């Protein structure tokens, strides 16, 4: 069985088995990462294309995440406030009353 060397911010260099590591491949390449548990904490590290390739070949558990296009759209304008949501709900209630 293959072993994987990684570094933990607290423990330093650690040796892990394939079963200890999870690779998350994101549809946005800069957001892929691998994760493992060490000293009772979850350690998450970025995974560039080279790391993804190496980990895939060792047989680690893979998870594919597809980010919807809407999440990547540029945002502009002020953020919604709770009052904006309440105003919208009141508008919908008014439409319901009008339809009845």
Sign of CA dihedral 44, 48, 51, 56: positive
Per the structure, the count of domains in the chain is 1
Q: Is the pLDDT of residue 1 over 70?
A: no
Which domain, by its residues, includes 27?
A: 3-72
13 falls within a domain:
yes
The pTM is what? 0.70
23 falls within a domain:
yes
25 falls within a domain:
yes
For the stretch 37-94, pLDDT in tens is: 998 899 999 999 999 999 999 989 999 999 999 988 998 999 999 999 999 999 999 9
79 falls within a domain:
no
pLDDT at site 68: 93
For the stretch 21-49, pLDDT in tens is: 999 999 987 899 999 999 889 999 999 99
97 falls within a domain:
no
20 falls within a domain:
yes
42 falls within a domain:
yes
């Amino acid at each position: 069985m293959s072993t994987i060397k990684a570094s933990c911010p607290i423990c330093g260099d650690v040796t892990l088995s394939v079963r200890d590591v999870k690779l998350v491949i994101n549809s946005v390449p800069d957001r892929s990462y691998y994760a493992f548990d060490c000293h009772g904490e979850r350690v998450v590290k970025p995974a560039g294309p080279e790391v993804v390739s190496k980990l895939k070949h060792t047989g680690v558990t893979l998870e594919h995440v597809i980010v919807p296009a809407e999440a990547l759209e540029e945002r502009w304008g002020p953020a919604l406030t709770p009052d904006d949501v309440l105003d919208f709900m009141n508008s919908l209630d008014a439409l319901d009353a009008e339809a009845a």
